[in-house]
Structure 1
């Protein structure tokens, strides 16, 4: 008994986030929703700490090369400073571990999460298509711990036209002078920094944490409407390059006997939960919606 409780606590520590329990009938917009998962104060505080650490880690990964160059020119890359940095890093690691255990305790004493994590563990042990879909139609949770339903093993490789097959000719045609060769790699480093700092975020603003935070309730309501009202099924696809795509499928072949499938594609800040999926659904078609990697979760 004690061993089972310890295993349950361990799963609460490392388990996925729970967002809501899907109701049996569509919720009324005029009433206070009761199907949303209510966190206690400790779990909410822990999630905020993890979010701050995630943001700081992203900033550190971006500016780390520049910091190394700066301290190198200042002559600060010494053994003593390395030991100091190691001690500071050790102290910083203790903080997320502490809040991870604190969040696990908060989940462990929450009956809603305990029920969810029990069913989640049972599905992991007995993972069939039927049990997986049963859990996905009952709970809305973070899919970062969820194995993909379909894996794309191969992909079509598109070869871009080359300037020259010879490396020497390639260098001569693209970097004519010594000055251009000298500034070639610094410009690549600068481009890498620009892409990782703001380039990807400008191209795909839907992946920004602030956008997901602002649209969180709308995304939850959208998924609830699709799964409860339209009996949609959710699947995770893993592409050949390792990205995970969140998809949802509304099958109308049995109801309306229509064999046409509509695949909806949202913009760079759009989500299938609040996008254009409802238009073909209301027209009676089967619809497949999908979110770009990093969107919605």
Structure 2
């Protein structure tokens, strides 16, 4: 009876991929022939099912034209489906038998069952030796584990299009329906292509290699977190506390729309000697769910709570690092955790709407605008304006994704994010003449910018002293009322000084890995930090 139970348990247990060890003992799991056969059949049928779901509108049309939706055709399809069902059941039984008779897998499943009962330190250590399908990994930190922060009201940005008259609401019903269907079918996957199962299948080997490197070379530890809506969030923590000069600072990494922590921006931060916490968006890698804004918010929220309450990092020792669309998650966290040490945003935008409109036909603009504002309102500036701490923006000068026009630096949406932020924080310095000056300044590369700064006569020490004097007499809160008594020359100097302090240029395309020397603690008015080297 125990043998039958063992086979039954192994039929639906996770696929074991790799066993970690020390040096030469690291190896891929050697599955038996029975298990290999069962796995191949099951995975093939799964991919057929996913392909069928994605292409269902076309398949239904083909089946209809071929006559398979008539009575005889449906009977034939029913028999075919029954045959596939029998093959699938046999495959599960064969796979379970192969696993149950494999001593290595038997030891693994015992470790996993112990971890599911209770993840005590020695069991966690044993479980971390195994690389397996993440759905079976026990949840180690959950939203229900929170105490005081559970009832804390999270800040949200407003959606202005919701404030419509009844007549306007009625007239836009067709656009609302189309927009809702578009976003909840293909739209969200166009915005977050990393959530596509097919792309993840293509990247499976690369993700495994990247994760293995984080675990083996950097001593990373994997965790599963559970959000408010019970999504599982796959994350990786690398602890450098008391081991490197920057190790007591934790950098929380928020990846791009096709980025994964296994092969993403964590590498830059690791090289800088920081402690690092990476996580995958809902629907990416081992994380479950779909990356709609509310699920993104709940994901970064539980990651931050985990960093503070479980990993024991003080909020003032945490830096938020977002790349591309990860700037949305990072800016939301900054808005709701305003005491973080700083925010670094690489190759990101102010608002996703102009980028979305730029990629769609002109006649769809009204539908796109409504769909974005109602369902995917990724407005980084609105969130970032509610954070008063240090910020560093990194702009890719050859960015083909964030720029509205190819090879046109002035169309980079990072420019808009910077100008909006500066106008909010320093309204009396960034008036119309200074905004025009800054736009011209940002339309050029560093060599030309240096010439402009020299022509304007920017004196960094003098600009800094203006800011320090204002803060000592008033406060550091934003918006600052510094500048009404300055002449136009002083305002020009201050504007260019502040732009240079808040934005760094990196000559590269959108997806080039960021060099470690470009990642630095954001400048603060009272503290001047240089580049971070190891």
Aligned twin of 1:164: 164
The TM-score with structure 1 as length reference comes to 0.74
Q: Say whether 1:232 aligns with 2:220.
A: yes
Q: Which has the higher contact order (CA 8 A, sep 6+)?
A: 1
Q: Say whether 1:285 aligns with 2:297.
A: no
Quote how far apart the aligned CAs of 1:240 are. Answer: 2.5
Aligned twin of 1:89: 81
Query: Do the aligned residues in 2 keep the contact of 1:136 with 1:234 (CA within 8 Å)?
Result: no
Per-residue Cα deviation, 1:3-54 (whole angstroms, up to 9, x for no partner)? 33222212211110111111124x5xxxxx8511123444333333223322
Matches within 5 A, 1:200-215: 200-209=188-197, 211-215=199-203
How far, CA to CA, are the matches of 2:133 and 2:68 in structure 1?
A: 42
Larger Cα-atom Rg: 2
How far, CA to CA, are the matches of 1:293 and 1:37 in structure 2?
A: 28
Aligned twin of 2:208: 220
Matches within 5 A, 1:243-254: 243-254=231-242
Aligned twin of 1:178: none
How far, CA to CA, are the matches of 1:103 and 1:49 in structure 2?
A: 10
The TM-score with structure 2 as length reference comes to 0.44
Aligned twin of 2:433: none
SS at match of 1:253: coil
Which residue of 74, 95, 104 maps to 1:103? 95
Per-residue Cα deviation, 1:124-149 (whole angstroms, up to 9, x for no partner)? 2x313425522442111111122322
How far, CA to CA, are the matches of 1:81 and 1:255 in structure 2?
A: 68
Quote how far apart the aligned CAs of 1:295 are. Answer: 3.0
Structure 1: where are the runs of 5+ without partners?
28-32, 176-180
How far, CA to CA, are the matches of 2:180 and 2:6 in structure 1?
A: 46
Q: Comparing 45-54 with 150-159, which one deviates more in the overlay?
A: 150-159
Aligned twin of 2:462: none
Classify 1:57/1:159 alpha carbon distance in 2 versus 1 (closer, same or farther; 3 Å).
Answer: farther
Query: Do the aligned residues in 1 keep the contact of 2:68 with 2:74 (CA within 8 Å)?
Result: no
Quote how far apart the aligned CAs of 1:84 are. Answer: 5.7
Query: Do the aligned residues in 1 keep the contact of 2:115 with 2:127 (CA within 8 Å)?
Result: no
- Cα RMSD after superposing both structures: 3.7
Aligned twin of 1:275: 264
Q: Comparing 254-263 with 97-106, which one deviates more in the overlay?
A: 254-263
Quote how far apart the aligned CAs of 1:218 are. Answer: 3.6
Per-residue Cα deviation, 1:185-221 (whole angstroms, up to 9, x for no partner)? 6x5697379x34xx55543343445544444344333
How far, CA to CA, are the matches of 2:200 and 2:170 in structure 1?
A: 44
Quote how far apart the aligned CAs of 1:72 are. Answer: 9.2
Matches within 5 A, 1:15-34: 15-25=13-23, 34=26
SS at match of 2:215: helix
Which residue of 111, 136, 141 maps to 1:119? 111
Q: Say whether 1:150 aligns with 2:149.
A: no
Query: Do the aligned residues in 1 keep the contact of 2:242 with 2:248 (CA within 8 Å)?
Result: no
